[in-house]
Structure 1
């Protein structure tokens, strides 16, 4: 059983095999019987201190200011008489040993006293297994405290897998990482080991880890390498060696006598984002040859027909959309606008196909391409590993209409947010959209605010359209070679659908535009989020345009006429002072008035109905469905949206804390076979989720007047 004891600092032995050292050039593995050797301890001590004590500066300052705090004691294991190996707390131990040396030299050590070094309270671990020891360290240094490097983290996962024979599921559950991350780490480590065994192996540095990680994550490069998932290595050996040469310094060859010269050629690839560029033309042999000849990614990128064609087509699509928009509002063109158009026309007339930076984009919303060409089954299950206060929640047996009820602060809105976020996969702008709303930022967006309040990771898994999918987002400090002037942090997003992985990275800066990088932006389906507390005018206009184009707008207006106000004749979108507004014509009024002059209930019905059509074959999340809608209308309106859900093949996620709203779904005449109700409840700080299928819910409500709120 573990117990607290007090020991002298001289009895503490530093762990020479600490995972923090694995990627250090001076590290060599030490047998346990040699760990306490004086020379090995001195080397370990110096590795922990770093140059000019840079690795423990924070701890030195903390100890001098606060003394030794007992909140997080050092953990040790007895290895001999009066000798204890430090299991957890090697940096703290090294810092205290350093301060003891400072004391002996009569330097200031702040609040520390001599007796502090003679009676350090530690936790003596008596029965921890080697596996449990590794997991304990992982929990401390993979998710919190002073993190290990990616290389060191990956080494820990490899040791648990290969030495201690844990399964991927056991590692995932023990360390709190998703299987996607575990599998990516295994792939990356395997490729790095192959590189270390190659002719260029002596050039490996831990800073190269993100490059190898990007290689094994990128679908195009994995296909080019003919990556074998069972063997965890490429089958295309020639391509593998070719890739390794691009990552390495190589001697220049004299073309006349084919001999190596003393001059060295720098690596072609030295940054993670260059892998993403390489993937765009890896199957273009001429572009690859140009890259090798010039020793430059840019040379291959410029020459690639595939890249150029894709970029040009995207540019034409954007031009077509914007020109059409300009025509639509051309009556507002001024002389200055005409001058700008003349300049644009001049550029278009001289247009040449030029390479562009594919990665750096603005934070405006960009529509990702849909992964599925057709959808006959939406979400069937969602496993919430972590989203805000929702932890380890299984939402099973999802149907066409899913109603989430519960009291305040039980996570109803969070459920809608995570569903919406899940549909957007690695389209990281959707996370920004949600965070902006929570922070009430409707125009300008503060990167500092985002960096401060986005703390917890997000981890979701589920089944959509009968395929397994997952989403993982976290805040990290990037190891990429970027300009870190005013750098704050990075948000990394990784989505997986049916084995295909899509990533995005957002770099945040305190006084300049964020930088967003991605290979390919994907979404599961079309999706929207409707709330009585937010207004999305741009999306409403898009939804209206689609309703007009596909001729179902009249059905929406008719419902409003029949069930809410029979005096309404038309609802039209018009432009007034360069602003698009919905105007209502009524038999009771002499002139049309703005839709916002009507009650919030009518506006809410209008918005939700439009969004139903906009999300055709997709997902619509509706927060507080009954808000502003009179209870006398709920039965008709719930039946109407269930009808639209069938018409447009939309999966609905709805929240309410109103019993009348729940009753309305039961009382309307629409079949309840595709209705599921979920109750969110909080007990002792833990939120749980239970469900009732439509027919069962109906029977219970009718028989017992049940309230699942």
Structure 2
């Protein structure tokens, strides 16, 4: 098989690619047959498209070549054409710049460090083979995955051709270009809707800057539902609504008769001109009166002002303002007079009337309303970690009811638990911030600057949950939206897909002001909790305690503690002391109840894990370093109790440990091992690998040879 090789060629033998994907959105672009590419007329037109008016498209390269000469860090790539010429596959802008400078050289103009020999012997990489797929992959690696990105519509067209013209699968495109399936599907959906727009009466109004708007339309859950969008055939099934939204994206041109009988053309600008306006539209897309007002005034703002979303927005703003002002009053409370104190008392009475009688139950109900699945027949069966911190291209299979991740320090055990918890949160960016806050040991507010610096690598996860395909992609980018860029840091996009439904969130970070968060709908896969000896979430524990009392299993937890840990304990209650909720323990050894924290960390950890197991009903629980603070004499009983609670509450458990005694305890307890899988994480050849051993097989090996899976 012929191999790729470096060759030297004269600049005149390098043919510019007239079908380069960067031209697709240019109004002067026309598809050129391969046999015509070398034609001088075609080459001149391609050169002019690449160079631009007054060489504006290659001015940076001209300056670089004149100052540095031709660098060999990133060679121009070509494939051979008939008659000893070569088509430039990658590096068309650089080639055009060199052609311009060669012309300047022949005219006697200054070309800096370049000499005649540079133009006569340009070292290029000749790509072997005739398959266009290879050439497309080469371009994709530079202009989709790499740093020299094309516009989004040009990227999407290349992805479309790879899949539908050359029949590559999603996995083949992903593996070749290293882009997530979420990004791939979103691009293809947007391109499909654009093609329908181009075929409509408004098609002549399309321009490439509209791509982000179409991408938002096919990503927004409410808009997709309103269009009755179908991912299988990539089109809306409501043609009426499709036509309507196309009209909102377009200028409205009509003629109007003047008083003197003459006619004049009236042009009204599009209603939707920015991506953000699609998100605003989603707030009232199902409110006919608001839509009617929007169309009448040709303004998103007019429709929004008439919608129910206004009340929600005003409430949100009022809550934010109230929070800030209360904090200000608190800081200067030493200056309060009696009169001002009485005003605070009256305000307190009003605020208390806003609170429901049973606030804890209401929060539980609200939390459950965001769960995607109404019924759960299974949990995670497989998770594919494409990218999460140091974990790359790891497939975790054979997941069962209880899953133990073992390994040495710095092998990614905690990272596995984090990514699983994050996966269940889908597009809820707040959960990502929460994880970064815990990881950075921030107990108050998290600095946007710190978050911006700490989130440096994209996240890409896929899996099967409840027998449905799911994915999560989180990436940092620089927004092209029309926002106030003062003190702007970066933007982060979270996009989740469950069974074909897409949920998206975006957040803009600023160094000196609150971030801007946008999302249409926030969903969870299921309820999920995270327990770690290094994290404490008092609010979550209060909710978990309220649920345990409400559903009458709190006494069972106390029973385990009495039987297996401390028989003197009579009861554990949550009480409010100076507006601070605390667990108080009544014991036959003391005349009065004492704070739970006065007991050992083991008792606190057992109570926390047991409460969170119940709170995670029909969901997921992640337990980091289970063996921490748990005495080895309790491990067998406690591991059995965890398995019992997991079955009782239908919870899938993921836990980490570096203790052989902890793993042995699961095997040696009396609970059946058929719902237990142990995974080991190890470093091999500078990467983390994951292997597993199912419970029953592990038990036989432990009993026969005392295996240490770590």
Name the TM-score class by shorter chain.
Answer: 0.7 to 0.9
The separation in 2 between residues aligned to 1:501 and 1:216, in whole angstroms, is 9
Q: CA deviation at 1:267?
A: 0.6
Further displaced range: 282-291 or 152-161:
282-291
Q: CA deviation at 1:608?
A: 1.6
Q: CA deviation at 1:671?
A: 2.0
Q: CA deviation at 1:55?
A: 4.8
Partner of 1:662: 663
Q: CA deviation at 1:311?
A: 7.6
The separation in 1 between residues aligned to 2:345 and 2:523, in whole angstroms, is 33
Partner of 1:460: 461
Q: For residues 589-628 of structure 1, what are the structure 2 equivalents within 5 Å?
A: 592-628=593-629
Q: CA deviation at 1:425?
A: 0.8
Provide the secondary structure at the position in 1 that maps to 2:678: strand
Superposed CA offset, 1:671-698 (max 9, x none): 2222111122332134332222222221
Specify which of 191, 196, 199 is matched with residue 198 of structure 2.
Answer: 196
Task: Call closer, same or farther: CA 1:449–1:16 in 2, change over 3 Å.
Answer: farther
Task: Call closer, same or farther: CA 1:616–1:265 in 2, change over 3 Å.
Answer: same
Q: For residues 478-557 of structure 1, what are the structure 2 equivalents within 5 Å?
A: 478-557=479-558
Partner of 2:88: 86
The separation in 1 between residues aligned to 2:393 and 2:141, in whole angstroms, is 17
Partner of 1:395: 396
Q: For residues 135-534 of structure 1, what are the structure 2 equivalents within 5 Å?
A: 135-252=137-254, 254=256, 261-304=264-307, 307=309, 339-340=343-344, 342=346, 369-534=370-535
Task: Call closer, same or farther: CA 1:107–1:256 in 2, change over 3 Å.
Answer: closer
Superposed CA offset, 1:628-667 (max 9, x none): 2221111111112112212222110011121111000011
Task: Call closer, same or farther: CA 1:643–1:230 in 2, change over 3 Å.
Answer: closer
Partner of 2:126: 124
Q: CA deviation at 1:484?
A: 2.8
The separation in 1 between residues aligned to 2:627 and 2:104, in whole angstroms, is 68
The separation in 2 between residues aligned to 1:113 and 1:586, in whole angstroms, is 92
Superposed CA offset, 1:547-575 (max 9, x none): 33333333333433333334444444444
Q: CA deviation at 1:206?
A: 0.9
The separation in 2 between residues aligned to 1:598 and 1:59, in whole angstroms, is 69
The separation in 1 between residues aligned to 2:605 and 2:469, in whole angstroms, is 34
Provide the secondary structure at the position in 2 that maps to 1:649: coil
The separation in 2 between residues aligned to 1:249 and 1:259, in whole angstroms, is 22
Question: What 5-or-longer segments of structure 1 have no aligned partner?
Answer: 323-331, 350-364
Further displaced range: 572-581 or 422-431:
572-581
The separation in 2 between residues aligned to 1:54 and 1:145, in whole angstroms, is 20
The separation in 1 between residues aligned to 2:565 and 2:220, in whole angstroms, is 53
Q: CA deviation at 1:187?
A: 2.4
Provide the secondary structure at the position in 1 that maps to 2:491: strand
Question: Does the Cα contact within 8 Å between 1:547 and 1:610 map onto a contact in 2?
Answer: yes
Partner of 1:18: 20
Question: What 5-or-longer segments of structure 2 have no aligned partner?
Answer: 324-332, 354-365
Partner of 2:653: 652
The separation in 1 between residues aligned to 2:490 and 2:134, in whole angstroms, is 31
Superposed CA offset, 1:93-152 (max 9, x none): 34545566777766584x766654444332111225101111221122112211111101
The separation in 2 between residues aligned to 1:368 and 1:91, in whole angstroms, is 53
Number of corresponding residues: 679
Question: Does the Cα contact within 8 Å between 1:371 and 1:523 map onto a contact in 2?
Answer: yes
Partner of 1:355: none
Task: Call closer, same or farther: CA 1:339–1:588 in 2, change over 3 Å.
Answer: same
Question: Does the Cα contact within 8 Å between 2:61 and 2:97 map onto a contact in 1?
Answer: yes
Partner of 1:325: none
Q: CA deviation at 1:295?
A: 0.8
The separation in 2 between residues aligned to 1:690 and 1:494, in whole angstroms, is 29
Question: Does the Cα contact within 8 Å between 1:436 and 1:442 map onto a contact in 2?
Answer: yes
The separation in 1 between residues aligned to 2:506 and 2:376, in whole angstroms, is 28
Question: Does the Cα contact within 8 Å between 2:256 and 2:265 map onto a contact in 1?
Answer: no
Superposed CA offset, 1:443-463 (max 9, x none): 332333333342332222222
Question: Does the Cα contact within 8 Å between 1:207 and 1:479 map onto a contact in 2?
Answer: no
The separation in 2 between residues aligned to 1:585 and 1:138, in whole angstroms, is 67
Partner of 1:77: 79
Q: CA deviation at 1:512?
A: 2.5
Q: CA RMSD in A?
A: 3.5
Superposed CA offset, 1:233-291 (max 9, x none): 33433332222111111125549999974231111111223223333433433332222
Provide the secondary structure at the position in 2 that maps to 1:85: strand
Task: Call closer, same or farther: CA 1:86–1:548 in 2, change over 3 Å.
Answer: same
Question: Does the Cα contact within 8 Å between 2:231 and 2:500 map onto a contact in 1?
Answer: no
The separation in 1 between residues aligned to 2:369 and 2:425, in whole angstroms, is 8
Task: Call closer, same or farther: CA 1:119–1:580 in 2, change over 3 Å.
Answer: farther
Partner of 2:363: none
TM-score scaled by structure 1?
0.86
Provide the secondary structure at the position in 1 that maps to 2:634: helix
Partner of 1:353: none
